Structure 1
Amino acid sequence: MDLKFSALASQFLDDPQAVRRAVCWPVLVWEAPPMGVRPLFTRSTLSVPSLSARRPTVAEPLVLEVRKRSRGITSPHSPHDLGIHLGRTPDNDIIVEDPTVSRAHATFHEEKHTGVWCVTDSGSHNGTWHDGTLLIPGRATPLFERASLRFGDVMATFLHFAAFNQFILDWLARHARASRATTLTEGGLTRGG
Protein backbone atom coordinates (compact mmCIF):
# COMPACT_ATOMS: atom_id res chain seq x y z
CA MET A 1 0.00 0.00 0.00
CA ASP A 2 1.38 3.41 -0.88
CA LEU A 3 0.58 6.64 0.91
CA LYS A 4 1.00 10.28 -0.11
CA PHE A 5 4.00 11.74 1.68
CA SER A 6 2.46 15.22 2.04
CA ALA A 7 -0.69 13.89 3.73
CA LEU A 8 1.24 11.53 6.00
CA ALA A 9 3.81 14.20 6.94
CA SER A 10 1.06 16.70 7.77
CA GLN A 11 -0.78 14.15 9.91
CA PHE A 12 2.47 13.15 11.59
CA LEU A 13 3.32 16.74 12.54
CA ASP A 14 -0.20 17.18 14.00
CA ASP A 15 -0.58 13.84 15.81
CA PRO A 16 2.37 11.42 15.57
CA GLN A 17 0.73 8.78 17.78
CA ALA A 18 -2.33 8.57 15.51
CA VAL A 19 0.01 7.96 12.54
CA ARG A 20 1.91 5.35 14.57
CA ARG A 21 -1.37 3.46 15.12
CA ALA A 22 -2.58 3.85 11.51
CA VAL A 23 0.58 2.99 9.54
CA CYS A 24 2.54 -0.23 9.58
CA TRP A 25 6.14 0.62 10.47
CA PRO A 26 8.77 0.60 9.07
CA VAL A 27 8.19 2.33 5.73
CA LEU A 28 10.07 3.05 2.52
CA VAL A 29 9.90 6.60 1.18
CA TRP A 30 10.37 6.43 -2.60
CA GLU A 31 11.59 9.75 -3.99
CA ALA A 32 11.81 10.87 -7.60
CA PRO A 33 15.32 11.84 -8.67
CA PRO A 34 16.01 15.60 -8.73
CA MET A 35 15.46 17.37 -12.05
CA GLY A 36 18.36 16.86 -14.45
CA VAL A 37 19.68 13.68 -12.78
CA ARG A 38 20.13 10.93 -15.33
CA PRO A 39 19.38 7.32 -14.43
CA LEU A 40 22.32 5.03 -13.73
CA PHE A 41 20.84 2.02 -15.47
CA THR A 42 19.75 2.05 -19.07
CA ARG A 43 18.95 -1.67 -19.03
CA SER A 44 15.29 -2.18 -18.37
CA THR A 45 14.05 -5.44 -16.87
CA LEU A 46 10.89 -5.05 -18.97
CA SER A 47 10.55 -6.09 -22.58
CA VAL A 48 7.57 -3.77 -23.12
CA PRO A 49 7.03 -0.81 -20.76
CA SER A 50 3.58 -1.15 -19.22
CA LEU A 51 3.74 0.76 -15.97
CA SER A 52 0.91 2.69 -14.35
CA ALA A 53 1.07 6.17 -12.85
CA ARG A 54 2.03 4.93 -9.31
CA ARG A 55 5.24 6.89 -9.28
CA PRO A 56 6.61 9.63 -7.04
CA THR A 57 7.17 13.17 -8.22
CA VAL A 58 9.81 15.61 -7.00
CA ALA A 59 7.11 17.34 -4.92
CA GLU A 60 5.31 14.17 -3.78
CA PRO A 61 7.25 11.05 -2.74
CA LEU A 62 5.40 7.78 -2.17
CA VAL A 63 5.42 6.09 1.22
CA LEU A 64 5.37 2.29 0.99
CA GLU A 65 4.58 0.24 4.07
CA VAL A 66 6.99 -2.64 4.70
CA ARG A 67 4.41 -5.34 5.42
CA LYS A 68 2.93 -8.54 4.06
CA ARG A 69 -0.10 -8.18 1.83
CA SER A 70 -2.93 -10.59 2.47
CA ARG A 71 -3.20 -13.01 -0.42
CA GLY A 72 -5.90 -15.34 0.82
CA ILE A 73 -4.91 -19.01 0.93
CA THR A 74 -1.30 -19.77 0.00
CA SER A 75 0.79 -22.89 0.21
CA PRO A 76 2.84 -23.16 3.42
CA HIS A 77 5.86 -23.97 1.24
CA SER A 78 5.50 -20.95 -1.05
CA PRO A 79 8.68 -18.83 -1.24
CA HIS A 80 6.50 -15.75 -0.78
CA ASP A 81 5.58 -16.91 2.73
CA LEU A 82 9.06 -15.97 3.97
CA GLY A 83 9.81 -12.28 4.27
CA ILE A 84 8.27 -9.23 2.66
CA HIS A 85 8.97 -9.21 -1.06
CA LEU A 86 9.67 -6.07 -3.11
CA GLY A 87 9.49 -6.12 -6.88
CA ARG A 88 7.82 -4.78 -9.98
CA THR A 89 5.01 -7.34 -10.38
CA PRO A 90 1.67 -7.52 -8.52
CA ASP A 91 2.55 -10.77 -6.70
CA ASN A 92 4.98 -8.84 -4.43
CA ASP A 93 4.13 -7.35 -1.04
CA ILE A 94 5.74 -4.01 -1.99
CA ILE A 95 5.19 -3.12 -5.64
CA VAL A 96 7.69 -0.69 -7.16
CA GLU A 97 6.67 0.05 -10.73
CA ASP A 98 9.93 0.97 -12.41
CA PRO A 99 11.57 -0.66 -15.45
CA THR A 100 14.93 -0.99 -13.63
CA VAL A 101 13.36 -2.99 -10.78
CA SER A 102 13.23 -6.77 -11.24
CA ARG A 103 10.06 -8.81 -10.93
CA ALA A 104 11.41 -10.20 -7.63
CA HIS A 105 14.04 -7.68 -6.56
CA ALA A 106 14.59 -7.82 -2.77
CA THR A 107 13.19 -9.20 0.47
CA PHE A 108 12.77 -7.59 3.90
CA HIS A 109 12.48 -9.50 7.15
CA GLU A 110 12.62 -8.76 10.85
CA GLU A 111 15.01 -10.85 12.93
CA LYS A 112 12.89 -12.75 15.43
CA HIS A 113 15.22 -12.44 18.43
CA THR A 114 16.66 -8.95 17.94
CA GLY A 115 13.85 -7.08 16.17
CA VAL A 116 16.40 -5.75 13.64
CA TRP A 117 15.09 -5.41 10.08
CA CYS A 118 17.21 -6.72 7.19
CA VAL A 119 17.12 -6.44 3.41
CA THR A 120 18.35 -9.13 1.02
CA ASP A 121 18.84 -8.76 -2.73
CA SER A 122 16.99 -11.57 -4.55
CA GLY A 123 19.50 -11.80 -7.41
CA SER A 124 18.05 -8.75 -9.14
CA HIS A 125 19.22 -7.60 -12.58
CA ASN A 126 20.31 -4.08 -11.57
CA GLY A 127 21.17 -4.71 -7.92
CA THR A 128 20.16 -3.50 -4.49
CA TRP A 129 22.29 -0.86 -2.79
CA HIS A 130 22.47 0.03 0.92
CA ASP A 131 24.02 3.41 1.79
CA GLY A 132 25.93 3.36 -1.53
CA THR A 133 27.21 -0.24 -1.25
CA LEU A 134 26.05 -2.94 -3.67
CA LEU A 135 24.58 -5.88 -1.76
CA ILE A 136 25.65 -9.46 -2.40
CA PRO A 137 22.58 -11.39 -3.55
CA GLY A 138 21.23 -13.74 -0.90
CA ARG A 139 23.10 -12.09 1.99
CA ALA A 140 20.97 -10.23 4.56
CA THR A 141 22.06 -6.69 5.47
CA PRO A 142 20.79 -5.09 8.70
CA LEU A 143 18.78 -1.87 8.55
CA PHE A 144 18.52 0.35 11.58
CA GLU A 145 16.45 3.52 12.21
CA ARG A 146 17.17 5.03 8.80
CA ALA A 147 18.91 3.68 5.71
CA SER A 148 19.32 4.82 2.11
CA LEU A 149 18.39 2.07 -0.33
CA ARG A 150 18.43 1.84 -4.11
CA PHE A 151 16.67 -0.81 -6.17
CA GLY A 152 17.90 -0.36 -9.76
CA ASP A 153 17.33 3.38 -10.27
CA VAL A 154 14.71 3.66 -7.52
CA MET A 155 15.94 5.69 -4.54
CA ALA A 156 14.16 4.98 -1.25
CA THR A 157 14.74 5.63 2.42
CA PHE A 158 13.95 2.91 4.95
CA LEU A 159 12.54 4.48 8.11
CA HIS A 160 11.39 3.29 11.49
CA PHE A 161 8.75 5.39 13.24
CA ALA A 162 11.39 7.14 15.41
CA ALA A 163 13.28 8.39 12.32
CA PHE A 164 10.25 9.64 10.37
CA ASN A 165 10.00 13.05 12.09
CA GLN A 166 13.62 13.91 11.26
CA PHE A 167 13.13 12.70 7.68
CA ILE A 168 10.15 15.08 7.29
CA LEU A 169 12.18 18.02 8.63
CA ASP A 170 15.15 17.17 6.38
CA TRP A 171 12.89 16.80 3.34
CA LEU A 172 11.14 20.14 4.00
CA ALA A 173 14.49 21.94 4.48
CA ARG A 174 15.96 20.39 1.31
CA HIS A 175 12.94 21.40 -0.78
CA ALA A 176 12.80 24.90 0.70
CA ARG A 177 16.45 25.44 -0.32
CA ALA A 178 15.75 24.10 -3.82
CA SER A 179 12.72 26.37 -4.13
CA ARG A 180 14.75 29.45 -3.08
CA ALA A 181 17.52 28.57 -5.56
CA THR A 182 14.98 28.22 -8.39
CA THR A 183 13.38 31.56 -7.49
CA LEU A 184 16.76 33.30 -7.49
CA THR A 185 17.75 31.77 -10.84
CA GLU A 186 14.42 32.63 -12.47
CA GLY A 187 14.64 36.18 -11.11
CA GLY A 188 17.93 36.74 -12.92
CA LEU A 189 20.09 36.88 -9.82
CA THR A 190 23.42 35.12 -9.99
CA ARG A 191 26.22 34.58 -7.52
CA GLY A 192 28.55 36.93 -9.40
CA GLY A 193 26.04 39.79 -9.34
Structure 2
Amino acid sequence: MHLKFSALASQFLDDPHSVRHAVRWPVLVWEAPPMGVRPLFTRSTMTGLSLRRPTLAEPLVLEVRKRPQGVTTPVAGVTLGRTPDNDIIVEDPTVSRVHATFSEEKHTGVWYLADKGSHNGTWHNGTLLIPGRPTPLFDRASLRFGDVLATFLDFSAFNRFILDWLERHSRAARTTSVAEGGLTRGN
Protein backbone atom coordinates (compact mmCIF):
# COMPACT_ATOMS: atom_id res chain seq x y z
CA MET A 1 0.00 0.00 0.00
CA HIS A 2 1.30 3.46 -0.92
CA LEU A 3 0.86 6.18 1.68
CA LYS A 4 1.21 9.89 1.02
CA PHE A 5 4.28 11.20 2.80
CA SER A 6 2.84 14.72 3.04
CA ALA A 7 -0.31 13.41 4.75
CA LEU A 8 1.72 11.34 7.24
CA ALA A 9 4.09 14.25 7.92
CA SER A 10 1.21 16.65 8.48
CA GLN A 11 -0.55 14.16 10.72
CA PHE A 12 2.71 13.54 12.62
CA LEU A 13 3.18 17.27 13.27
CA ASP A 14 -0.43 17.61 14.48
CA ASP A 15 -0.63 14.41 16.51
CA PRO A 16 2.43 12.10 16.62
CA HIS A 17 0.47 9.47 18.57
CA SER A 18 -2.06 9.02 15.75
CA VAL A 19 0.77 8.16 13.34
CA ARG A 20 2.18 5.71 15.90
CA HIS A 21 -1.18 3.92 15.90
CA ALA A 22 -1.57 4.04 12.10
CA VAL A 23 1.95 2.83 11.23
CA ARG A 24 3.13 0.06 13.55
CA TRP A 25 5.49 -1.70 11.16
CA PRO A 26 8.56 -0.68 9.18
CA VAL A 27 8.22 1.39 6.02
CA LEU A 28 10.18 2.08 2.86
CA VAL A 29 10.37 5.72 1.82
CA TRP A 30 10.89 5.90 -1.95
CA GLU A 31 12.19 9.33 -2.91
CA ALA A 32 12.62 10.72 -6.40
CA PRO A 33 16.26 11.01 -7.46
CA PRO A 34 17.70 14.54 -7.48
CA MET A 35 17.30 16.54 -10.69
CA GLY A 36 19.81 15.55 -13.37
CA VAL A 37 20.54 12.06 -11.98
CA ARG A 38 20.28 9.49 -14.73
CA PRO A 39 19.30 5.85 -14.22
CA LEU A 40 22.11 3.34 -13.73
CA PHE A 41 20.42 0.45 -15.50
CA THR A 42 19.17 0.17 -19.04
CA ARG A 43 17.85 -3.35 -18.51
CA SER A 44 14.15 -3.00 -17.99
CA THR A 45 10.90 -4.65 -18.92
CA MET A 46 7.46 -3.15 -19.05
CA THR A 47 4.29 -4.94 -18.03
CA GLY A 48 1.61 -2.29 -18.44
CA LEU A 49 2.68 -0.32 -15.38
CA SER A 50 0.80 2.81 -14.43
CA LEU A 51 4.14 4.13 -13.14
CA ARG A 52 3.07 5.59 -9.82
CA ARG A 53 6.29 7.33 -8.90
CA PRO A 54 7.49 9.66 -6.18
CA THR A 55 8.14 13.32 -6.92
CA LEU A 56 10.68 15.63 -5.33
CA ALA A 57 7.89 17.13 -3.23
CA GLU A 58 6.06 13.87 -2.48
CA PRO A 59 7.96 10.67 -1.63
CA LEU A 60 5.99 7.44 -1.52
CA VAL A 61 5.75 5.54 1.76
CA LEU A 62 5.44 1.78 1.32
CA GLU A 63 4.43 -0.39 4.28
CA VAL A 64 6.63 -3.43 4.91
CA ARG A 65 3.93 -5.96 5.74
CA LYS A 66 1.93 -8.77 4.21
CA ARG A 67 -1.10 -7.67 2.24
CA PRO A 68 -4.56 -8.69 3.45
CA GLN A 69 -5.81 -12.19 2.81
CA GLY A 70 -6.76 -13.12 -0.71
CA VAL A 71 -3.33 -12.35 -2.16
CA THR A 72 -1.31 -15.48 -2.62
CA THR A 73 2.39 -15.28 -3.32
CA PRO A 74 4.64 -18.28 -3.92
CA VAL A 75 7.41 -16.69 -1.82
CA ALA A 76 7.54 -16.63 1.98
CA GLY A 77 7.99 -13.28 3.73
CA VAL A 78 6.95 -9.86 2.54
CA THR A 79 7.61 -9.72 -1.19
CA LEU A 80 8.69 -6.61 -3.11
CA GLY A 81 8.40 -6.47 -6.86
CA ARG A 82 6.90 -4.87 -9.92
CA THR A 83 3.81 -7.06 -10.37
CA PRO A 84 0.48 -6.77 -8.51
CA ASP A 85 0.84 -10.12 -6.73
CA ASN A 86 3.58 -8.73 -4.44
CA ASP A 87 3.02 -7.36 -0.96
CA ILE A 88 5.00 -4.21 -1.82
CA ILE A 89 4.50 -3.05 -5.40
CA VAL A 90 7.27 -0.86 -6.83
CA GLU A 91 6.21 0.29 -10.27
CA ASP A 92 9.56 0.71 -11.98
CA PRO A 93 10.84 -1.09 -15.09
CA THR A 94 14.25 -1.83 -13.44
CA VAL A 95 12.54 -3.75 -10.62
CA SER A 96 12.02 -7.46 -11.24
CA ARG A 97 8.62 -9.15 -11.01
CA VAL A 98 9.62 -10.59 -7.60
CA HIS A 99 12.73 -8.62 -6.72
CA ALA A 100 13.33 -9.13 -2.98
CA THR A 101 11.76 -10.31 0.27
CA PHE A 102 11.64 -8.92 3.79
CA SER A 103 11.27 -11.18 6.81
CA GLU A 104 11.19 -10.55 10.54
CA GLU A 105 12.99 -12.77 13.02
CA LYS A 106 10.28 -13.38 15.60
CA HIS A 107 12.52 -13.69 18.70
CA THR A 108 14.60 -10.55 18.12
CA GLY A 109 12.31 -8.44 15.96
CA VAL A 110 15.19 -7.84 13.51
CA TRP A 111 14.11 -7.49 9.89
CA TYR A 112 16.06 -9.14 7.06
CA LEU A 113 16.22 -8.41 3.34
CA ALA A 114 17.06 -10.97 0.64
CA ASP A 115 17.43 -10.52 -3.11
CA LYS A 116 15.40 -13.09 -5.06
CA GLY A 117 17.74 -13.30 -8.07
CA SER A 118 16.69 -9.96 -9.55
CA HIS A 119 18.11 -8.73 -12.88
CA ASN A 120 19.43 -5.40 -11.61
CA GLY A 121 20.29 -6.36 -8.05
CA THR A 122 19.38 -5.35 -4.52
CA TRP A 123 21.75 -3.08 -2.61
CA HIS A 124 22.00 -2.49 1.15
CA ASN A 125 23.96 0.60 2.26
CA GLY A 126 25.89 0.54 -1.03
CA THR A 127 26.69 -3.20 -1.01
CA LEU A 128 25.23 -5.56 -3.62
CA LEU A 129 23.42 -8.45 -1.94
CA ILE A 130 24.12 -12.04 -2.92
CA PRO A 131 20.81 -13.54 -4.11
CA GLY A 132 19.15 -15.70 -1.47
CA ARG A 133 21.41 -14.58 1.39
CA PRO A 134 19.46 -12.44 3.92
CA THR A 135 21.08 -9.36 5.42
CA PRO A 136 19.85 -7.72 8.65
CA LEU A 137 18.17 -4.33 8.60
CA PHE A 138 18.17 -2.29 11.76
CA ASP A 139 16.40 1.01 12.47
CA ARG A 140 17.45 2.71 9.21
CA ALA A 141 19.04 1.43 5.99
CA SER A 142 19.62 2.79 2.48
CA LEU A 143 18.34 0.33 -0.10
CA ARG A 144 18.32 0.16 -3.87
CA PHE A 145 16.19 -2.12 -6.02
CA GLY A 146 17.36 -1.65 -9.63
CA ASP A 147 17.22 2.14 -10.03
CA VAL A 148 14.79 2.64 -7.13
CA LEU A 149 16.33 4.28 -4.07
CA ALA A 150 14.47 3.72 -0.82
CA THR A 151 15.10 4.09 2.88
CA PHE A 152 14.04 1.30 5.25
CA LEU A 153 12.84 2.74 8.55
CA ASP A 154 11.45 1.23 11.70
CA PHE A 155 8.86 3.37 13.47
CA SER A 156 11.23 5.41 15.66
CA ALA A 157 13.52 6.09 12.70
CA PHE A 158 10.49 7.07 10.58
CA ASN A 159 9.60 9.77 13.11
CA ARG A 160 13.15 11.19 12.90
CA PHE A 161 13.10 10.89 9.07
CA ILE A 162 9.92 12.99 8.86
CA LEU A 163 11.47 15.80 10.91
CA ASP A 164 14.77 15.66 8.97
CA TRP A 165 12.97 15.62 5.59
CA LEU A 166 10.78 18.59 6.52
CA GLU A 167 13.79 20.58 7.71
CA ARG A 168 15.86 19.68 4.63
CA HIS A 169 13.05 20.68 2.25
CA SER A 170 12.12 23.87 4.08
CA ARG A 171 15.80 24.91 3.98
CA ALA A 172 15.92 24.13 0.22
CA ALA A 173 12.74 26.18 -0.32
CA ARG A 174 14.24 29.15 1.55
CA THR A 175 17.46 28.90 -0.50
CA THR A 176 15.47 28.73 -3.75
CA SER A 177 13.31 31.73 -2.86
CA VAL A 178 16.39 33.78 -1.96
CA ALA A 179 18.13 32.80 -5.22
CA GLU A 180 15.01 33.62 -7.25
CA GLY A 181 14.82 37.01 -5.55
CA GLY A 182 18.26 37.86 -6.88
CA LEU A 183 20.06 37.71 -3.56
CA THR A 184 23.28 35.78 -3.28
CA ARG A 185 25.84 35.29 -0.52
CA GLY A 186 28.07 37.90 -2.08
CA ASN A 187 25.39 40.64 -2.02
* 1:56 Cα offset (Å): 0.8
* 1:72 Cα offset (Å): 2.2
1:106 is aligned, of 100, 115, 137, to 100
1:79 aligns with 2:77: no
Question: Quick check: 158-167 or 181-190, which moved more?
Answer: 181-190
Cα pair 2:113 2:134 within 8 Å, conserved: yes
Q: What secondary structure sits across from 1:115 in the alignment?
A: coil
**How many equivalent pairs are there?**
187
Matches of 2:18 and 2:181, distance apart in 1? 42
* TM-score (ref. length: structure 1): 0.89
Cα pair 1:24 1:66 within 8 Å, conserved: no
Name the aligned partner's letter for residue 105 of structure 1.
H
- Residue segments in structure 2 that go unaligned for 5+ positions in a row: none
Matches of 2:182 and 2:41, distance apart in 1? 35
* 1:124 Cα offset (Å): 0.7
Matches of 1:63 and 1:70, distance apart in 2? 18
Cα pair 2:121 2:146 within 8 Å, conserved: yes
- Residue segments in structure 1 that go unaligned for 5+ positions in a row: none
1:57 aligns with 2:52: no
Residues 185, 51 of structure 1: alpha-carbon distance in 2 compared, 3 angstrom cutoff? farther
* 1:181 Cα offset (Å): 3.1
| RMSD value, Cα | 1.8
* 1:160 Cα offset (Å): 0.8
1:174 aligns with 2:172: no
Matches of 1:127 and 1:52, distance apart in 2? 22
Question: Quick check: 172-181 or 128-137, which moved more?
Answer: 172-181
* 1:112 Cα offset (Å): 1.9
Q: Which residue of 2 aligns with 1:132?
A: 126
Cα pair 2:23 2:155 within 8 Å, conserved: no
